Amino acid sequence: MADAHPDVDTLLDSGSENPKRIFAALNAEPTKPKKDVVISPQEAHAFIRARYEALDPSAIKQAVTFLNSEPGIKQRELSKEFSQLVPQLLSGTASIDSASSEKAKKVEEFFRAAGAVEALKSIPYSPDPTSKDRVYKHAVDFYASKLSNDELDTLVAHYSSQEGKAAVAAALSLTKEILNEYGI
């Protein structure tokens, strides 16, 4: 089936980190919502591949183009760095300086455009229900410290475009499908 979508492998290489992190988080204690469900990395990879293969080839090309652009690469790197930092932030062993209110508003605009707010709301956090709010606040501060106003404007413009909105819808759909795999 990969022959029908030659860019699926490229998309998997550059655009599957977040879905794989969701699978990993849902497998991990203590946040694991379903104690009897474990999905292996190989099963997660096959699940993501099947969803990507179902995408329109032009949507795949657009996603690959963005993911391999300078803003896309930087966003992927920051997403990975932040996800590795979250456990330390939640445990209090690391901290991030608070963003100015102006910069925080720009980051929140980026998060809304990129679907991050909706994605965060859909992911269960247990046993501490306040951890979603804490993760969001830390994410705002983290991205504010790492992205310039121009970079934020570029990301907002991308995710506000027709192609960006389609990518956000596809990513949110994938997140919901992953949660459904866990019975959430």
Tally of CB atoms within 10 A around 174:
20
The closest of 65, 9, 51 to 181, measured between CA atoms, is: 51
pLDDT attached to residue 2: 42
118-149 exposure pattern, b = at least 16 Cβ within 10 A, e = fewer: ebbeebebeeeeebeeebbebbbbbbbebbee
Higher pLDDT among residues 91 and 153, named by residue: 153
pLDDT attached to residue 1: 43
> Which tens digit of pLDDT belongs to each residue from 160-179?
998 888 888 888 788 888 87
3-state secondary structure of 155: helix
Contacts by 169-175, CB closer than 8 A, 24 or more apart: 169/115, 170/55, 170/59, 170/63, 171/18, 171/115, 171/119, 172/115, 172/118, 172/119, 172/122, 174/19, 174/48, 174/51, 175/19, 175/22, 175/119, 175/122, 175/123
> Which tens digit of pLDDT belongs to each residue from 30-46?
555 565 667 778 888 88
pLDDT attached to residue 117: 84
Residue 102: partners with Cβ closer than 8 Å, 6 or more residues away: none
Cβ atoms of 99 and 149 closer than 8 Å = no
The tally of domains found in the chain comes to: 1
Instruction: Give me the chain's average pLDDT, please.
Output: 82
> Which tens digit of pLDDT belongs to each residue from 72-126?
889 888 988 988 888 888 888 999 999 999 999 999 999 999 888 887 777 665 5
Please give the residue range of the domain that contains residue 163.
2-181
Higher pLDDT among residues 127 and 159, named by residue: 159
Query: Residue for token digits 């909105």?
Result: 165
CA distance to 42, 147, 183, per residue, from 11 (Å): 16, 24, 26
Q: For the whole prediction, is pTM greater than 0.85?
A: no
